[in-house]
Amino acid sequence: MLDFDTLRIIWWVLLGILIIGFAIMDGFDFGVAILLPLITENEIERRIVLDTILPFWEGNQVWIILGAGAIFAAWPIVYAVTFSSFYYLILLLLLSMGISRPVSFKYRSKLPNHFWRRFWDGIVFFGGFVPAILFGILISNVITGFPFQFDHDLRLTVDSSWLDYLHPFSLWCAVTSLAMLIMHGGLYLAIKTNDPIRERAIAWSRTMALILIVLFAGGGLWIAFVLPGYSVSSPILINSFSNPLHKEVILDQGAWMNNYHTHPLTMLVPCLGLLGAALAFVTANWGNSKLAFFCSSLSIAGIIGTVGVSLFPFILPSSSDLASSLLVWDASSSQNTLFIMLIATVIFIPIILSYTSWVYYVLRGKVNKKRVEEDEKH
């Protein structure tokens, strides 16, 4: 069996991969939903845009289910703190992403009435816009820390309201998340549609790519020079049982930059976020825009990876009781649990990836007016 500390690192990396996978695969769904009222001028165009994601959106949500399941099983303390602290934000996320969005997709085509379809188009937009904003807010509060603490019996107390999570940095991250997903969704539409929809989608994607570069770089400067970071001032027991109270944590200006100073190669991760967006801007019109979509995916991976690298070894810092902050080393399940889950992951993830690849291969090609009209006949 692998060492306990090795298993913890593996599951920290796997959690990051699952989050990145969700952002890339379901992210373009959100981007397309946001762009729906912005790049379409008539009913046929709206049907074309919707038909680009209708076969895929349900399958793409597998990634968030896997991510939530991984947190629940591999990081149960993280799961408890996150879902207790962000209860109302997560409830709103589920309402917009898991309830209103599927209902809007199903109900929109039930009646040909103009008002009916515009109403559900608005719900489609809501189901893309709100999650994009909420993900940025959630990530920002992980970076700044939020008020939770454990007593000596490891009973959790959360002393905050959902309004506490709205602050200037969270709004900055929300707009960054929005720009990132619009860029990604527009490039997906560039692959799946023809002009004039493709031309409008590319224009939005290129604009959002430039905005993303500015926002991501600005957020990095904000973290480096304005926001205090967290650092562990006591020895870390990397091979011990999970107990978040066996350490000392201090606030330190610029602490989130420590890993980049200690391991300079980690600077490649934020550079990937910036370079991917820049290349997406440059290559958006090349060929069928597949290269630009790949570059956009790299940018998303770099941006989310930057959060992980900056925080490590923290997973969830506490702003009210620094010692209660959760680390990779003190918030995981047992060694046996992590090992058994790793075996299951090695077996099932390739199956999921193979099936997903097959679905995208079968449904490849562009969506056009003729295809939409044929679908209406059936």
Burial class (CB in 10 A: 0-12, 13-18, 19+), 377: exposed
The parent domain of residue 16 ranges over 4-370
Contacts of 328 (CB under 8 A, 6+ apart): 8, 9, 12, 312, 313, 314, 315
User: Is residue 281 a part of any domain in this protein?
Assistant: yes
Q: What are phi and psi of 251, to 5 degrees?
A: -90, 135
Residue 129's pLDDT band (boundaries 50, 70, 90)? Answer: very high
User: Is residue 72 a part of any domain in this protein?
Assistant: yes
Distance in angstroms (rounded) separating the CA atoms of residues 351 and 50: 28
User: Is residue 375 a part of any domain in this protein?
Assistant: no
Note the maximum CA span of the chain: 68
User: Is residue 293 a part of any domain in this protein?
Assistant: yes
Distance in angstroms (rounded) separating the CA atoms of residues 244 and 324: 6
Residues 195-203, mean pLDDT to the nearest whole number: 93
Over residues 232-288, the pLDDT tens digits come to 988 887 878 888 888 899 998 889 999 999 999 999 999 999 999 999 999 999 988
User: Is residue 376 a part of any domain in this protein?
Assistant: no
Contacts of 273 (CB under 8 A, 6+ apart): 216, 299, 300, 301, 302, 303, 305, 306
Total domains in the chain come to 1
Over residues 84-112, the pLDDT tens digits come to 888 888 888 888 888 888 888 888 888 88
What is the structure's pLDDT at 107?
Answer: 87
Rounded to whole angstroms, what are the CA distances from 26 to 55, 61, 334? Answer: 12, 6, 31
User: Is residue 377 a part of any domain in this protein?
Assistant: no
Short-list 267, 350, 253, 264, CA closest to 305: 267
User: Is residue 91 a part of any domain in this protein?
Assistant: yes
User: Is residue 316 a part of any domain in this protein?
Assistant: yes
Distance in angstroms (rounded) separating the CA atoms of residues 209 and 262: 30
What is the structure's pLDDT at 39?
Answer: 93
